[in-house]
């Protein structure tokens, strides 16, 4: 079951589209999907909004699911240590790996997402603290991919809610 998205602010649509419509799969590496929340939108070839990033909940666990085309366009240089399942860059376990796509796509997240809700915005760099702790060899790659995603948003005229700070060494 998908939570309804309620927001008065327009969503930023993921760049480098269009994206084909795809539903979040009904099963995940953690079991049957019980609930999903759309975290990011894009546009389809006919101009309609389509989901491209989901938060997934199962009976005992969960994580983040990335649309296949979004992963192909932005995550192709992501080290395998940054994702948990099958080397396909589509599933990210909630305890550690989910911080990777959430950090990378932070500025494209729907305004209703718990990470970026105005007045309660979760600091982007806190996501990086976890990546730095659990996957330190991937920090430079994750930052580079996030910078590329942010640069495409800026090129398309969007203001970033959280620009990346100057690169810090690990």
Apex CA 165: angle with CA 160 and CA 170, to 5°? 140
What is the distance between the alpha carbons of residues 18 and 43, in angstroms, rounded to a whole number? 5
Q: What is the DSSP string of 2-32?
A: BPPP--SSPPPBPSS------PPPSEETTEE
Q: From first to last of its 170 residues, what are the pLDDT tens digits of the chain?
A: 444 444 445 578 999 999 999 999 999 988 899 999 999 999 999 999 999 999 999 998 899 999 999 999 999 888 887 776 766 789 998 888 999 999 999 999 999 898 998 778 899 999 999 999 999 999 999 999 999 999 999 999 999 989 987 655 44
pLDDT at site 54: 96
Q: Are 103 and 127 in contact (CB under 8 A)?
A: yes
Apex CA 125: angle with CA 120 and CA 126, to 5°? 65
Apex CA 41: angle with CA 167 and CA 98, to 5°? 50
pLDDT at site 10: 58
């Amino acid at each position: 079951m998908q939570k309804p998205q309620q927001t008065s602010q327009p969503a930023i649509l993921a760049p480098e589209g269009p994206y084909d419509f795809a539903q979040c799969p009904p099963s995940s590496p953690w079991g049957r999907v019980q609930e999903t929340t759309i975290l990011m939108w894009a546009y389809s070839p006919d101009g309609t909004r389509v989901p491209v990033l989901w938060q997934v909940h199962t009976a005992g666990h969960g994580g983040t699911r990335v649309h296949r085309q979004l992963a192909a366009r932005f995550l192709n240089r992501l080290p395998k240590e940054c994702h948990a399942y099958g080397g396909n860059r589509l599933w990210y376990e909630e305890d550690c790996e989910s911080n990777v796509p959430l950090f990378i796509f932070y500025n494209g997240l729907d305004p209703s997402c718990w990470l970026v809700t105005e007045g309660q915005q979760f600091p982007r760099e806190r996501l990086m603290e976890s990546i730095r702790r659990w996957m330190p060899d991937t920090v430079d790659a994750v930052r580079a991919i996030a910078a590329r995603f942010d640069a495409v948003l800026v090129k398309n005229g969007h203001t970033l809610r959280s620009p990346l700070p100057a690169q810090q060494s690990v």
